[in-house]
Amino acid sequence: MYKILLTLFLIIFVNKNLHSQNVNLDEYEIYLGNTLIAKHNFIKNGQNLNENQAKTIEFKPITNGPKKAYYLNGTLYSSGKMENLKENGIWEYWHPNGQKARKGEFINGKPNGTHEYWYENGNIRSIGNWKNGVYDGRWEMYNEDGKEKTIQNYKDGKQIL
Domains of the chain: 65-160 (2.20.110.10)
Does the structure show a pLDDT above 50 at 19? no
With a pLDDT cut of 70, the percent of the chain lying above it is 84
Does the structure show a pLDDT above 50 at 158? yes
Check residue 26 and give its pLDDT.
82
Tally Cβ neighbours within 10 Å of residue 132.
12
Query: Reading across the β-sheet that carries 35-37, which strands appear in turn?
Result: 57-61, 28-32, 35-37, 65-70, 76-83, 86-94, 100-107, 110-118, 124-131, 134-142, 149-155, 158-160
Check residue 38 and give its pLDDT.
96
> Is residue 142 very low, low, confident or very high in pLDDT (cuts 50, 70, 90)?
very high
Provide the CA 77 distance to its chain's centre, in angstroms: 7
Check residue 36 and give its pLDDT.
97
Backbone φ and ψ for 35, nearest 5 degrees, come out as: -100, 125
Does the structure show a pLDDT above 70 at 15? no
Backbone φ and ψ for 134, nearest 5 degrees, come out as: -130, 155
Does the structure show a pLDDT above 60 at 20? no
Burial of residue 38 (CB within 10 Å: 0-12, 13-18, 19+) is buried
Check residue 10 and give its pLDDT.
53
Backbone φ and ψ for 87, nearest 5 degrees, come out as: -65, 130
